Structure 1
């Protein structure tokens, strides 16, 4: 059983393209399963929808890795954005009241009214990128990545002159596909230096961006600001790129649904929700740790145990979603958990929806849009959390 569970986890080449049959086998028993990663990390995998919702909102499950067992903490050392060293103290690694305070610092920027003001610019940029796509386009490198990079730069207030460098560093830091082992640390150093200068500039001359919003609302330490910037990069960049790529991939694999959306573009908001449910860009929620004994799926988990919630598995639970393995853009009552649930519900959910809506609205207008390679030739991200193709080559009629 143990080896099968290790193979099931993201990172195993044989299941990157389609982990859902393995999730279905695990979900059928109902109980959480103890899984071990090659890194030495381990945890209890939650796969059913009701259990996932309960775990995501349970205050007895801490997000702070300092509450993990000593052997787990030792295996997880050296992850600067996740282990609460340096840049690792942010919304995904803190509990109330610290989490509440940090979330309040940035929540003022992510209001519906403020994000509505970003929508026209996002839609215009998506339109420009789609119009300039080459005949043999890669929808990740040529469309989704530059679109979301521009959005992140707008949100953070990165000047136009710096955006090419910023995108290069960001891609190297957040990408799970870097082939050069030294690329990520080097880019992280460059990005940290740049971010320090950016924060200093915003303190002198605030603008209409999230960094300025934080500095105006309350004086915070430079490390806290930097941690928040890197959280926005890690949590907002690759996940939204994958949202666009997975959404396009699903539509291309299900031409009936693509034709439906083309004929009824008013379905775009429902379509984005269903595409998020069908293939979540965040496959597993970030780690949680039991502060006391907790019962999940009828299983008593001892205090201190690490817990992983499989959002992708919960979204395909037939006990919650009829015909879950079939995308249906007209699906109603679509309460997926792709953005989480409870106090850690994704702060950028509305922004991701705006970007996904703008991107897919443009892509479905491309005539004769089709995959340029067989699906089995696509390469997939090897990541514990983010799911999606590394590249998505397509053809269309110019």
Structure 2
């Protein structure tokens, strides 16, 4: 049995494969590929929502891989982040960062986000080809999260490159080496901030470690690495996918330009339509359980396909149609339950500001190449373009 999610066709357009898998069974076994443990893929909306909030499924990857032979050398700061643990540890760590991404905190960031967006778009030559990923969707979230964490401006290009390498599908040696570079960088940055404190989110986390002893040193480094990477990867793909969807649906683009107040509702539909995270991070079943109508043996890995769930016709009729009249607030693009993306308010604000600016400043923006010539990143975890050539 071959893995249907491993083909180049799947990376270009996963939705036909997801539809076929869901129709066959919304929770089904995947080939083991020599891993030594069973894996299950969840493609139905109801089953995905259940799995994301099910306390019977663990995210404690350290417990799962304990005693299993591995040739990987991921740094613990990357392998054992807040995303890879259960309550009560997860609850404690998440509480430390939630305030930085609250609605009020994000509202205070909006003027800075708008300023950076305008600065980036000022460089776009009207009528000449530009890459909307490299020249907007990637640098904006990097600048914002680096500003939040106090990463010096001169070092931000390094962060951008390391983040890309961390998702280098098919090159585990590069991923492992990059994890150590990122952890070493963040360790050095934390040491520097201790000698020259400021007002960044990283300073707040250092205070939690040094003042109240609520973080171990390893947890501090791990949280900082996670925020640095997760704080822009998803948003970059969100902006790129959303812009492409609108460019491929000129009727919806025109409608949004005519009624820009629809943008908040449109964002939820754009997230549903082409989710920036294709598959949620790792979960496993410590004990046997039933998910949907499928029996999952103890020790099995469970992968929740958010992109598939968001195209489930049982939840979203005509799922392959883009249109925010449907009301897509129940989408799972940011996950669900206690592990729902803590940075969702920031991602929504960045995407809204970017799309509003593009609609206003470039009324004739269009794709510079046919859609079938666009290249997608070679990973099943996230869904994003390597480049998006447009003519403003």
Task: Give the match for residue 156 of structure 1.
Answer: 149
Counterpart among 94, 119, 122 of residue 131 in structure 1: 122
**9, 20, 25: which is aligned to 1:25?**
20
Q: Which residue of 2 aligns with 1:280?
A: 275
1:78 to 58, 72, 78: 72
The counterpart of 1:87, out of the listed 51, 64, 78, is 78
Give 1:46 shift.
0.7
Instruction: Answer with 115-124 or 362-371: which moved more.
Output: 362-371
**1:46 and 2:39 aligned:** no
Structure 1 window deviating more from structure 2 (112-121 vs 256-265): it is 112-121
The 3-state SS of whatever aligns with 1:44 is: strand
Q: 1:377 to 1:294 in 2, by over 3 A?
A: same
Look up the SS of the partner of 1:119 in the other structure. helix
Q: Does 1:394 align with 2:387?
A: no
Residue correspondence of structure 1 range 1-398 to structure 2 within 5 A: 2-3=1-2, 6=3, 8-9=4-5, 11-36=6-31, 40=35, 43-68=39-64, 73-74=68-69, 77-78=71-72, 80=74, 85-134=76-125, 135-172=128-165, 174-176=166-168, 184=175, 187-217=178-208, 218-219=212-213, 220-365=215-360, 366-396=362-392
* Dislocated runs of 4+, deviation >6 Å: none
Residues paired across the two proteins, number = 384
User: Secondary structure at 1:285's aligned position in 2?
Assistant: coil
Relative to structure 1, is the Cα distance of residues 312 and 182 closer, same or farther in structure 2, using a 3 angstrom cutoff?
closer
Shift of 1:23: 0.7
Distance 2:17 2:164 in 1: 30
Does the 8 Å CA contact 2:26/2:47 hold for their aligned counterparts?
A: no
Give the TM-score taking structure 1 as reference length. Answer: 0.90
How much has 1:184 moved relative to structure 2?
Answer: 4.9
On the 8 A contact 2:74/2:180 being kept in 1, the answer is no
User: CA 1:293–1:188 in structure 2 vs 1: closer, same or farther (change >3 Å)?
Assistant: closer
CA distance in 2, matches of 1:288, 1:226: 23
Q: Specify every segment of 5 or more residues in structure 2 that has no aligned partner in the other structure, as ranges.
A: none
Q: How far apart, CA to CA, are the structure 2 residues paired with 1:191 and 1:106?
A: 20
Q: 1:68 to 1:238 in 2, by over 3 A?
A: same
CA–CA distance in 2 between the matches of 1:20 and 1:60?
28
Q: Is the 8 A contact 2:62 2:80 kept in 1?
A: no
Change (3 A) 1:159 1:86: closer
Given that 2:49 and 2:336 are in contact with CA atoms closer than 8 Å, whether structure 1 keeps it comes out as yes
Instruction: Supply the distance in 2 between the matched residues of 1:216 and 1:313 (Cα, whole angstroms).
Output: 41
* Whole-angstrom distance in 2 between the partners of 1:245 and 1:346: 19
Secondary structure of residue in 2 paired with 1:33: strand
Structure 1 stretch displaced more, 337-346 or 294-303: 294-303
- Is contact 1:247-1:276 (8 Å) kept? yes
After superposition, the CA RMSD in angstroms is 2.3
Cα separation, 1, equivalents of 2:358 and 2:73: 36
Following superposition, the deviation at residue 106 of structure 1 comes to 1.5
* SS in structure 2 of the partner of residue 307 of structure 1: strand
Q: TM-score, normalised by structure 2?
A: 0.91
Please give the alpha-carbon distance, in whole angstroms, between the structure 2 residues aligned to 1:17 and 1:100.
37
